[in-house]
Amino acid sequence: MARQRNVMTSALCTAILWGCCILTLTAQKDSTHQWFVRGNYHYGILLPEYSVMNYTSNDYIRGFEVNLIHQTAGKNMWERLYRNPVYGVSFFYSTMGNKDVYGDQYTLYPFYGLHFVQRPRFTFGYQMGVGISYATKKFNLSSNPENVTIGSHINIHYHADLLAGIALTDRLLLNTGIAFNHISNANLAEPNVGLNFVTVNAGVQYAYGKKVKVQRDKPERMNPFWTYELTLAGGLKHTRTFESFKYAAIAVGGSAKRRIAHRFALGVGVDFFYDSSIEPQMEELNRPFKPEYAYMSGIHLSQEFIYNKVSFILQEGLYIGLMHRLNEYPMYNRAMVRYKFSKHFLMSVSMKSHIYILDFPELGIGYYW
């Protein structure tokens, strides 16, 4: 408990620093370096999603991160719409609160960041990325039974960071932040409870190369219009019974979307699902199974955040018609990254879930007009 109070106190001090800087600095940048290297030290705590983690976590989270960053300068409409975002790649290392049970994590992930405030000597914004992580320890019934959270060495690492920076010179910047991390294997192996942890971090950032002028002209408003999509997606899933076999799952859908701005669209749609794991799971539970139980149908609402050809989409669905017979879930959700690679075709990566319970990852392809 004392450890958690110390970390939260550091986080509060960081937030106060951000607030003071935001209130005192007003001028905008008119030029910027475009390439940066940043190194940050992380210090934090494991967030115990289940009570068993209170007993297995016996130390702070400690780690470091190295980022290669590219700062955009408004050379196209999308950069100006998003106030000149940054993107790059990061290497992240951290302990996980117990060397013997959870081991260490090594992660490589691409990231994308937006500025809330960008002044001559101060920046404040967020950075978000998803990548591949290697865990040195995983669940093993004989040698590591206490690790009931991570069932594979290779995992997905989600990282979100609020960052503030103060420039000491034209090229050197001090930064500090608060980061949230989630590590799991997207239900590709069992167990898959996953690990969540929060850290405060601090470090330095160095700019190299020549400065370029920042362009800030705002694009004209867009007239709203409708678009339509047909999609096919599929993935593999476990049955949460610690077996190694994976079952196929397929989703077919159609949607209509109202593009209300350059950056945003709202939509409605229908979905049809096939899940081959339903039959063996119901047989394991000695419950009667009919072939139609492997099929489900529903309707969804969607919110799409658009950056040029790339979109981040959230969907909230309701099963209607063919219901989820195994667990009787009334709703389903999807988080999706989509890329339109031609005039009419798109591809996507998504995660289907039931509220906070991950179901399976999907790869998809679609046609739009």
The closest of 16, 3, 15 to 43, measured between CA atoms, is: 3
Q: What average pLDDT does this structure show over 207-231? A: 91
Q: pLDDT: is 144 or 272 the higher one? A: 272
Q: Is the peptide bond before 191 cis (omega within 30 degrees of 0)?
A: yes
Q: The domain 2-213: what is its CATH number?
A: 2.40.160.20
The segment(s) of the chain belonging to CATH 2.40.160.20 are 2-213
Judge whether 194 and 182 are in contact, CB under 8 Å: yes
The confidence band for 50, taking pLDDT boundaries of 50, 70 and 90, is low
Judge whether 294 and 280 are in contact, CB under 8 Å: no
d(CA 28, CA 119): 5
The confidence band for 53, taking pLDDT boundaries of 50, 70 and 90, is low
Question: Against a cut of 0.95, is the pTM above it?
Answer: no
d(CA 255, CA 272): 12
d(CA 176, CA 215): 27
d(CA 56, CA 15): 30
The amino acid that residue 50 corresponds to is Y
Place of tokens 């989630």: 182
d(CA 136, CA 165): 33
Check whether 3 has a pLDDT greater than 80: no
Place of tokens 């609020």: 162
Task: Give Cα separations from 34 to 37, 81, 84, 300 (angstroms).
Answer: 11, 18, 11, 41
DSSP 116: E
Q: Does domain 225-368 have CATH number 3.30.2420?
A: no
Q: What average pLDDT does this structure show over 66-93? A: 93
d(CA 302, CA 312): 10
Beta strand residue intervals within 290-342, DSSP E: 295-307, 310-319, 331-340
Query: Which residues touch 12 (CB under 8 Å, ≥6 apart)?
Result: none
CA 227 from centre of chain? 26
Q: What average pLDDT does this structure show over 322-327? A: 93
The closest of 149, 135, 171 to 53, measured between CA atoms, is: 149
Specify the range with the lowest mean pLDDT, choosing from 53-57, 286-290, 304-308, 353-357: 53-57
Burial state string for 128-159 with b = 16 or more CB within 10 A and e = fewer than 16 = ebbbebebebbbeeeebebbbbbbbeebbbbb
